[in-house]
Amino acid sequence: MGVVGDRIGPVRFRDRFLQGESVEGSVRSPILSSWQRSRLLGLSPDQSELPFEQDVDLEAPLLRAAEPVLDRLQAIFAGSRTNICLADGHGMVLARRFGEKSMVRHLAPIQILPGFVFAEQVAGTNGIGLSLAERRLCQVYGAEHFAERSQASACTAIPLRDQLSGHIQGVLCLGYPYTDADPALIPVVRKAAEAIERRLMDQSSVREHGLLQAYLDAAHLARSSEHGLDGHPVAMADFLRSELEQSDQATLKEKATELMSGDRRAAAEVSLSRGRRVTLVSRPVTSAAGVEGVVVEALLPEDTERHAPAPTHPHAPAAVPPAFRPHVAPGPSPATVRARGAPPADDPARDGRVRGLVLVGEPEVGKYAVAARRRLELLAEASNRIGTTLDVSRTAWELAETAVPRLADFVTIDMPGGVLLGEESPHATTEMHRTVVHGIREDCPFYPVGSQVSLRPTTPHMRCVATGQPVLEQDLKGAFGWIAQDPEHAELLLAHNIHSLITVPLLARGAVLGVVSFYRSQDPSPYGDDDRSLAQELAARAALCIDNARRYTREHTLALSLQRSLLPRGLPEQSAVEVAHRYLPAESGVGGDWFDVIPLSGARVALLVGDVVGHGLHAAATMGRLRTAARNFAELELAPDELLTHLDNLMVRLDREEGGDGPDPGSTGIVGATCLYAIYDPTSQQCTMARAGHPPPALVRPDGAVSLLDLPAGPPLGLGGLPFESVEIRLPEHSQLVLYTDGLIDDRHRDVDVALDALNRALAHPDRTPEETCQAVLDAVAPEHPDDDIALLVARTHAVPTDRIATWELDADPARVSEVRAACVEQLNRWGLEESTFATELLLSELVTNAVRYGTAPIRVRLIHDRNLICEVHDASSSAPRMRRSATTDEGGRGLFLVAQLAQSWGTRYTTGGKVIWAECSLAAA
């Protein structure tokens, strides 16, 4: 917005803004934020008066450092209409230069004289005020100025910082007609600012040199006055290089920096490697120019004692060793030495034979060094503390816990609700979910965790989201955008002495994940640029961890949704068993566990539990394919061992397609799966089971006895070419068959035998319902933090009463068909199913006639009165009946078509002695 030509000065947008219309997205974010702050401050665009300070300090350090640079800029822009301005950290103009000297005669005093204040809160949007507010280089063109008087000009302004502390000392601003705007001005302004900052640094160096000279003078006076002192000064740098390891040098300098940050006398003993100790002493010193500083010295033993081992006696004093306490002869009066900066007679520095200079400087410099070291320590700690889990909320809490109290007294984190669910939020939104509130105490009235926070665009939170940069509010009492969000709430926070704020956007890979706010209350000094940089670095590291957690949450949610969609949503209606089930996903991600209940012909039911190796979407998708295949194989009435063989072959084919034999060489294929398949027949109470590498099921008998069924283990699915074996067991009525996956009993913190013992104790309650049994097993056996999925299936067996089963044996004689029909009608009447007589008689007649005509003796007919009426005809032939479409001239071929119309379902299942053709009729339909 606004470089040259027609684009300079968003006149239309400024007019629309002043009329109360929204111009978001049409004006640069810093300019729009400044306009909004100006409006909240009640400033008027036609305001022409500014505060004026008459007492301008012409000897200010900033002005002395900048004068040569200002002169140089004036020479560069000679003959142009450029206005060169220097302002202090409060926006007051200290000096001006003009490229064309005749400009002075045509400008108003506000544009000429030093002393006028251009801070944003009194002057609105302008170069000096915006640079101080944004704390970075800013450009303002034409109508981007809030005041009418500046509409014809443009400016480029940059803050001037103290390179030691990072504090803003002032602003350098170039003003010019907006038609003269040139991108080449930016590097010129930057180089000029760097030159001023270097000269400010040189002033600090001059002060430090004066302190060093004062120390040397004082040391020389002390040495010449102390007759008989057998010690001698030593160059500390030589000692550090020759005597101390690098780690010891760092330790000594670090402790010396802490001592120098104070402005008083102090002494500290530093333990070094190999049992050595050095005593550091700090004391104030004053240069000839009156600069007050601190000098830090080290007390060293003699050469022969410097290498002596440390005392090992438990009662040896921790103070300075004897080698540090030689006899000291009388010297000059303490007052004489103290006047020149030397230590008094009782100073600890006089106790050593050898003294060496470690550091000398002003206390503030030491404080900056200590603060810098602590910032580095905090960043190092953040690398270890933030991102220990793949949970979005927990990662946000780790960021807050790391920052409190070392950077902030209170931290709040707001996120869009979708981010907590794993979704992306690439665009700024004013609707946030308060995720974290953490601080040094709990009585501050921040919006509570879980509340919805609707943020106004003028708040620092939304400003940082809009710009992608942190926003620093040094004084919240003057942060009108923050106050305007909720004045009553702001007053409550200010009453708790919360006075400074840094807001940082959580940005990662182009996605807006939220806003973190750092508040200060205990430290009376406001936040500075170093604090803002540290907060930004912490937030950037946390944002990457949060984004990783968000992506994991999204993948986990997708995999879990897929997993649950592939599992049974409801249990089918059947009367053979009473079933309850549970599925518990792993904490680290969903896997491939599944279960199924499949009704079969003859009132039987199939129970299935399986586990695909691995986690994630691939395992869930493989589970879905296996479960679908298992249902299809079960519909074919295959025996358990045959079904597992077919599943094994399927796994081998899938592995070949997706593994090394496939077109993708990077694919690892399918690792394998385990499975347990059982068929329970309530008419005989027989249960046929086979397993493929799966844990054996548990059986709870009606008397409460619990046992793990001894089934042949069988190989896991996917190995190929190995046989499976079925076992048939009779289950007493009301027994409970418990099928589960290995996630229930496998736990890295617990032995499998311990888990199985807990399972046996949890199951030893036969009076429980299957639902109660499921819950009891999970409560007692399931790991607290499961690493694998858990699938649990509990089935209580029922039996069909013998008086509800009717069986007839007959020869392959057509004359016997009528006898069976008559017996069937009589049995239906005894069961009270007279309404089903006609359909059942016709259906059974067709089935028996087919068996007599095409089957092989012996022929057996069975009726089962269950939820439905089941008709079965068994013969010794293995030939399969086939329903076909008969021509109009055919005399036969319509029997099975008639059976399909009369029955709810029908089919054929093969046995070791032949086949069974069955048909199931709904009693409700009859």
| Residue 664 DSSP SS3 | coil
Cα–Cα nearest to 460, from 449, 472, 451: 472
Q: What percent of the chain has pLDDT over 90?
A: 40
Predicted confidence at residue 224, as pLDDT, reads 55
Cα separation of 326 and 554, whole Å?
72
Between CA 152 and CA 159, with CA 158 as vertex, the angle to 5 degrees is 135
The structure's pTM equals 0.65
Predicted confidence at residue 76, as pLDDT, reads 93
Cα separation of 77 and 173, whole Å?
13
Predicted confidence at residue 331, as pLDDT, reads 36
CA atoms within 13 A on the CB side of 197: 21
Q: What is the CA radius of gyration of the chain?
A: 44
Cα separation of 257 and 261, whole Å?
6
Predicted confidence at residue 223, as pLDDT, reads 56
| Residue 667 DSSP SS3 | coil
Predicted confidence at residue 896, as pLDDT, reads 76
Determine phi and psi for 676, rounding to 5 degrees: -130, 125
Cα–Cα nearest to 719, from 696, 692, 750, 745: 692
Predicted confidence at residue 157, as pLDDT, reads 96
Q: Which residues of the chain have pLDDT under 70?
A: 1-10, 219-243, 263, 301-355, 366-367, 369-370, 425-428, 589, 659-671, 882-895, 925-926
Cα separation of 349 and 338, whole Å?
13
Q: Which residues of 598-610 are buried (b: 16+ CB within 10 A; e: fewer)?
A: bbbbbbbbbbbbb
Residue 98 amino acid letter: F
Q: Which residues of 908-923 are buried (b: 16+ CB within 10 A; e: fewer)?
A: ebeeeebbbbbbbbee
Cα–Cα nearest to 6, from 175, 142, 185: 142
Predicted confidence at residue 125, as pLDDT, reads 94
Q: Strand 698-700 relative to strand 686-692: parallel, antiparallel, unpaired?
A: unpaired
Cα separation of 181 and 160, whole Å?
22
Cα separation of 716 and 696, whole Å?
13
Residue 279 amino acid letter: T
What would the DSSP string read from start to end of 253-288? Answer: HHHHHHHHTSSS-EEEEEE-GGG-EEEEEEEEEE-T
The tokens describing 201, both together, are 């640094």
